Structure 1
């Protein structure tokens, strides 16, 4: 008779079993190497994340609101929190495995292990109690080896989670930062309604198919299994790899203990994520942290707040310019060197207020490029409105440029205003939409004019 037990349906041959035991016996040295490399890689990851997030913040979050503004911050905080947990997991495995190696070497020197009857400075009763509580050294070595393997497997399960979360957030960013700005508002509304209906149907189907009465019927059991395939698609290629680890734990750990462990782990991860998110908010846009607020303090009005990033002499090297910048907070010379950033998030508005004209097909590529450059310069000089104190700067010639190490796209000009006051002054940069009476303010930069004596 054939064995219908899924766990024994495909038995390994004797040679395969011997090979597996040999690989298992030698896995500890690979664990040490992999844990060390993983910790080194995780330590390098925050800098890469910061660079990528700064790029997103500059190009897509400068003039956005709602979910599109919140999604990158959530993704950044979640990935950083995952990195912290991963580092702790690999560090724990590294320390435990290194300790295990020391115990194995100690057992090789003293094969009899702990001889409790010869422990000095102990009574026979204390020796017996230590023997009962601690047990033999070889048994503890085996127990520690199992725990090292579990921690190592959980660490890689978390790697799968990190990759999955990153891929899901990339999809969200693609939808909100690429698709949404390039479709009409009516089409975007239909897309949101359709996505909402799909999510609602998915939740209702999952709730119904996971009912015990439904699962006990043959048809319900088949539908439940088919429905799990939808979840596999959402795993984006991570399902098969993570299932080996997950199902091994599910089938060998008591459900109550598994729920307790998962709950504790979820709470710890949520706390780490929450702290990361709050810390990120405190560094985004000059806003105050929830735990570091002040009664008489505001960072949400540009004219009343000094943002170091808008001054060339105070901005950290390699940092992005948020909206605009001038040379210093204290101006000694009678001119302002102004750079206005051109983030990608401005494109949807600029395409509406300045649609590209139809060029003649008879023009050569070089001639078309030249005409496009001249037309672009005319449009941006028409749309950008610059004000110093209460006077609008007339005939401002903005030129295209790339600024800083990041090679930011933008426009640059030199202003020679005649209304500079000794002391406090305000520079305002706004975008004048021809369809509106009032201009949309991009940034207000306070500065002090202290002329040379």
Structure 2
């Protein structure tokens, strides 16, 4: 009796790496499930430290890294489930080597005849389950590596576009340069592949078009873009439909990217998920934002906005902390105070303070003075002002802290921005 017919031994066609696959999936699944949350914490902690241009780079790194982590986490979880199913099939075949006894099932003769006609032998079922688990493991790991390669290429092109924009003295927009560079990278390759697929067999090696295509493919090959650099996907495509494999690969990548973008937005705006359409919200209604109160805010998730110690201030002074926001304050200081970097720290403090004037219940506070401080829970630089509230009457009060517009904001965004943060508190 050969191995494949012996229910008490594994088939010789069993994937030789199944034990290593289980070991890697079992160990890595826990790390991969925790990695997206760790990346979220690092991203939201670093995001307020950069201006708009570098924040775009940071966000791109975050999106691609989190997408790769999601793909790996999903791969290892599904792989463990498929391997568990395979183990269950192997074990049941050992317990019941005679297979399914159709005559013992309570089904009619017509249904039984149909089932038996379509029956697959148990060894073949086991082998198919084994192959599916291995293919999933290989494709998932390869797909995650593919996302990493794409992210490196995209970040490199984005960095190059920012360098070109900086060398142009601000005359060129980085996003426009990025579109042009992406087109120069993707379009020639796509056109060359289309011409080769359609007319390549008709071209002679000595023809001009043949040599041109050969040079183009050589350039992209030296850059690392060739099928042999991804042998798993090339092998799978050659044994299946190349178009189906490519479609599935792109769908999986875009799904991971979409989930990452949506989850990041959801963490900043939790009300987006749920039936909250009729809940009153907007600038025309009074609302309290927990980010404005130190005892309520989540420094790992909330935006870097001005805050006081609590919504109910029992102390003699309200401690107003205004975090430095590079995407707002840097460009505003450069416009308001030319040669900002060459000025003294005191001059820069005066310039920055003028961007964040404060009113209390609609009345300006001319005596307010900012001190240099930092956010103790995020270690980000901030301004600190102590506001005397001892003489305030009991009840609700409001602080308005002005803010400059974000760098790169459109005229529409600026018109919709009230230009200040509202912090309500009670005595």
Whether TM-score is above 0.5 comes out as yes
Shift of 1:316: 2.7
1:27 equivalent to 2:9? Answer: no
Which position in structure 2 is the counterpart of 1:220?
209
Which position in structure 2 is the counterpart of 1:315?
297
Which position in structure 2 is the counterpart of 1:156?
141
1:331 equivalent to 2:313? Answer: yes
CA distance in 2, matches of 1:93, 1:333: 57
Residue by residue over 1:160-192, the C-alpha shift from the partner in whole angstroms, topping out at 9 and shown as x without a partner, is: 13312443454466568x759966653444x66
Q: 2:324 aligns with which of 331, 337, 342?
A: 342
How many equivalent residue pairs?
399
Q: 1:143 aligns with which of 107, 110, 128?
A: 128
Distance 1:231 1:410, change over 3 A: farther
CA distance in 2, matches of 1:381, 1:125: 86
Q: Is the contact between residue 15 and residue 134 of structure 2 (CA under 8 Å) also seen in structure 1?
A: no
Shift of 1:68: 7.3
Secondary structure at the aligned position of 2:19 is classed as helix
In terms of mean alpha carbon deviation, does 151-160 or 372-381 score higher? 372-381
Distance 1:198 1:407, change over 3 A: closer
Distance 1:233 1:335, change over 3 A: farther
Which position in structure 1 is the counterpart of 2:414?
none
Secondary structure at the aligned position of 1:429 is classed as strand
1:51 equivalent to 2:47? Answer: no
CA distance in 2, matches of 1:391, 1:419: 14
Secondary structure at the aligned position of 1:134 is classed as coil
Secondary structure at the aligned position of 2:377 is classed as coil
CA distance in 1, matches of 2:226, 2:393: 66
1:406-425 alignment to 2 at 5 Å?
Answer: 406-416=378-388, 420=392, 422-425=394-397
1:203-242 alignment to 2 at 5 Å?
Answer: 204-209=187-192, 210-211=194-195, 212=197, 214-215=199-200, 216-218=202-204, 219-231=208-220
Q: Is the contact between residue 317 and residue 389 of structure 2 (CA under 8 Å) also seen in structure 1?
A: yes
Which position in structure 2 is the counterpart of 1:252?
239
CA distance in 2, matches of 1:180, 1:408: 30
Distance 1:194 1:313, change over 3 A: closer
1:277 equivalent to 2:261? Answer: yes
Q: Is the contact between residue 324 and residue 443 of structure 1 (CA under 8 Å) also seen in structure 2?
A: no
Secondary structure at the aligned position of 2:425 is classed as strand
Secondary structure at the aligned position of 1:47 is classed as helix
Shift of 1:47: 1.9
Distance 1:170 1:400, change over 3 A: farther
Q: Is the contact between residue 74 and residue 277 of structure 1 (CA under 8 Å) also seen in structure 2?
A: no
CA distance in 2, matches of 1:287, 1:120: 51
1:171-190 alignment to 2 at 5 Å?
Answer: 171=156, 174=159, 185-189=169-173
CA distance in 1, matches of 2:157, 2:267: 23
Which position in structure 1 is the counterpart of 2:423?
446
Q: 2:363 aligns with which of 385, 391, 398?
A: 391
CA distance in 1, matches of 2:166, 2:391: 42
Q: Is the contact between residue 58 and residue 343 of structure 1 (CA under 8 Å) also seen in structure 2?
A: yes
Secondary structure at the aligned position of 2:298 is classed as coil
In terms of mean alpha carbon deviation, does 132-141 or 195-204 score higher? 195-204
Shift of 1:51: 1.6
CA distance in 2, matches of 1:196, 1:115: 60
Residue by residue over 1:83-118, the C-alpha shift from the partner in whole angstroms, topping out at 9 and shown as x without a partner, is: 4443333222212222323433454566x5527488
Structure 2 unmatched ranges of 5 or more: 1-10, 406-416
Q: 1:86 aligns with which of 50, 69, 72?
A: 72
RMSD of the alignment, in Å? 4.3
Residue by residue over 1:203-254, the C-alpha shift from the partner in whole angstroms, topping out at 9 and shown as x without a partner, is: 55345422255433244344334434555577xx686775201211221113
CA distance in 1, matches of 2:108, 2:355: 91
Secondary structure at the aligned position of 1:186 is classed as coil
Secondary structure at the aligned position of 2:374 is classed as strand
CA distance in 2, matches of 1:144, 1:430: 63
CA distance in 2, matches of 1:304, 1:202: 50
Which position in structure 2 is the counterpart of 1:101?
87
CA distance in 1, matches of 2:279, 2:94: 68
Distance 1:101 1:317, change over 3 A: same
CA distance in 2, matches of 1:304, 1:183: 46
Distance 1:271 1:170, change over 3 A: closer
Shift of 1:350: 2.6
CA distance in 1, matches of 2:107, 2:279: 66
Residue by residue over 1:284-329, the C-alpha shift from the partner in whole angstroms, topping out at 9 and shown as x without a partner, is: 3x59638756367444x49843211111121136555522111122
TM-score using structure 1 length:
0.71
Which position in structure 2 is the counterpart of 1:364?
none
CA distance in 2, matches of 1:208, 1:297: 52
Shift of 1:37: 2.3
Which position in structure 2 is the counterpart of 1:366?
none
Secondary structure at the aligned position of 2:396 is classed as strand
Structure 1 unmatched ranges of 5 or more: 1-20, 360-371, 434-439
1:294 equivalent to 2:274? Answer: no
